[in-house]
Amino acid sequence: MSTLTLADLTLEDLLPHRDGMLFVREVLEVDSRKARTLFVVDKSWPMADEHGVHPLILVELAAQTAGVCNGWDRIQTNGLDSNQMGWLVAIKKADFFIDFLPFGSIVTGTAENTYSFENLREVSCELHLNDQLIGQAILQLFQANEQ
């Protein structure tokens, strides 16, 4: 069992994302079941236009938040140098309550593992802009075994 704390880790330790696809700006809370993250909406994000970013990006923000708690669990269980393969993500359900995400706005995401069996997770996610709920999703995550 690892004794690493959140302060000992980088975002890259928790997630396989790099360069322009790592959207998490900060991990606010994390344990092996739940994570809360912070994002700052940027013009460089996919699906950005002159109005802001299309709300479909909320699925990726939810998935990265889910990845944070499952990355944390991997490190705590198997160590920092353990397999960091990404998860395949399926969208079981998603609802968006905003037309676009304004540039520079701060979005917080919460993801909680509601079901876990071997390499399968079902994750309930919520995304907020300030105190306004802007999206909800139920994701199914699967990670292949390292061969």
Sequence-distant (≥ 6) Cβ neighbours of residue 134 within 8 angstroms: 55, 58, 96, 97, 98, 101, 107, 127, 128
Domain boundaries defined on the chain: 6-142
15 compared with 44, residue with greater pLDDT: 44
Name the CATH topology of 6-142.
Thiol Ester Dehydrase; Chain A (3.10.129)
Summarize pLDDT for 82-98 with one digit per residue, the tens: 877 778 899 999 999 99
Q: Mention every residue, 6+ apart, whose C-beta is less than 8 A from residue 67.
A: 14, 15, 16, 17, 86, 87
pTM of the model: 0.93
| 146 compared with 89, residue with greater pLDDT | 89
Q: Give Dmax over CA atoms of the chain in angstroms.
A: 48
Neighbours of 73 (CB within 10 A): 19
Distance between CA atoms of residues 104 and 107, nearest Å: 9
Position 139 scores a pLDDT of 97
Asked if 37 and 64 count as a contact pair (C-beta separation under 8 A), the reply is yes
Mean pLDDT over 115-123 rounds to 93
